[in-house]
Amino acid sequence: MSRPVRFEALVRDLGSQARLGRLDTPHGSLETPAFMPVGTQATIKGLTPDMVRDAGARMVLANTYHLALRPGEEVVEALGGLHRFMGWDGPILTDSGGFQAFSLAGRSKLTEQGVAFRSHIDGRLLELSPESAVAIQQKLGADVAMCLDECPALPAEKGAIAGAVGRTIRWASRCKDAHTRVDQSLFGIVQGGSHEDLRSECAEALVAMDFDGYAVGGVSVGESREDVRKALAVTTPLLPFDRPRYLMGVGRPQDILDAVATGIDLFDCVLPTRNGRNATCLTARGTVKMRNAGHKVDPRPIEEGCDCLACRTFSRGYIRHLFMAKEMLGPILASVHNLAYLHRLMGQIREAIREGRFVPFRAGALEALGP
């Protein structure tokens, strides 16, 4: 069977489950493990596509719910599809809107048919069913579409999580039946909280449906780092070795290092750009708060040895000044740096796997980053 998005594991780390791979898509190839910046509304906030690519990104994410509300999938389709619309010629993945049923719970109602939202913009009704979520994503035209799933807030009773698992499986089957676009792949999403039996049940059911890739969902909704590790330890070994594995909504460097060790290939998160807009920069030795008065006359870059636009051009003192003066360049430079840092980390991870030294690399990186 020919798949529009294909994955090949190139190197397996001897001391862990980490793997170096290649993901081939209709809009180009990339090495994995890889991080996808989040462009919720068809833009990585404050950054041009060239800035995002220069920071190291090769694949980005956009959101079905938000684009269906504004400008509408018909507008995106009429303007040539999502790639042309947002000026990004590389691979794109679209989330299905399932996470918004969790994050906008006060504005949504979930039933067996789907999720009904009251728009956070103007209050109008948007109904997402498995079929309509797929139809919207097909009109958007991303390389990878995601099944609609139920993402329960944690902590929750096991019975509630079991109900979400059952609905996620049923919705995945409906998504599979509805998906017809031959140049777009469809990924299933494994739910189950921290319960081994529920994760196993969900993974086994989705694998039987033969999706093009698999995501681990429900791991950034209020659980502990240990619960995330448990969910990955159970789920990842059940997913096919020849398909990409995607951990949704995780971007903290420590969590990425943990997840790569279990065999995860793809990540996405708003963390690098959201932190950047809030004057927090990521470095190999932890975070740097750019509004700190200690940076007022600091001539150093955000991070020594970083070659991003911010670090090769400006001082900490200047970037702090931008934030204190509420100049928009401050959040832009901090976001550029954070993306560059994460993509540099992913490159170091890939190189460590290639050279058979991921385990000591991970240990050293975690020690430097701190808890």
Which pLDDT value is given to residue 155? 81
Quick check: 324 pLDDT over 80? yes
pLDDT in tens, 159-175: 999 999 999 999 999 99
Q: Which of 206-210, 231-235, 244-248, 283-287 has the lowest mean pLDDT?
A: 231-235
Which pLDDT value is given to residue 221? 67
- Give percent of the chain above pLDDT 70: 98
Which pLDDT value is given to residue 222? 65
Quick check: 1 pLDDT over 70? no
User: Could you give the count of Cα atoms lying within 13 Å of 142 in the half-sphere of its Cβ?
Assistant: 27
Which pLDDT value is given to residue 145? 98
Which pLDDT value is given to residue 107? 83
Quick check: 9 pLDDT over 70? yes
User: Which residue in the block uniquely carries the two structure tokens 């809030």?
Assistant: 278
Contact 113, 129 (CB under 8 A): yes
For residues 11 and 18, give the distance between their C-alpha atoms in angstroms, rounded to a whole number. 9
Catalytic site positions: 95, 268
Q: What is the DSSP string of 35-100?
A: EEEB-TTSS-TT--HHHHHHTT-S-EEEEHHHHHHTT-HHHHHHTT-HHHHHT--S-EEEE-SHHH
Task: Copy the structure tokens of residue 268.
Answer: 């996405």
Mean pLDDT to the nearest integer, 65-81? 97
User: Which residue in the block uniquely carries the two structure tokens 């670090």?
Assistant: 311
Domains detected in the chain: 6-269 (3.20.20.105), 270-371 (no CATH)
Average pLDDT, the chain: 95
Put simply, whether the predicted model's pTM sits higher than 0.85 gets the answer yes
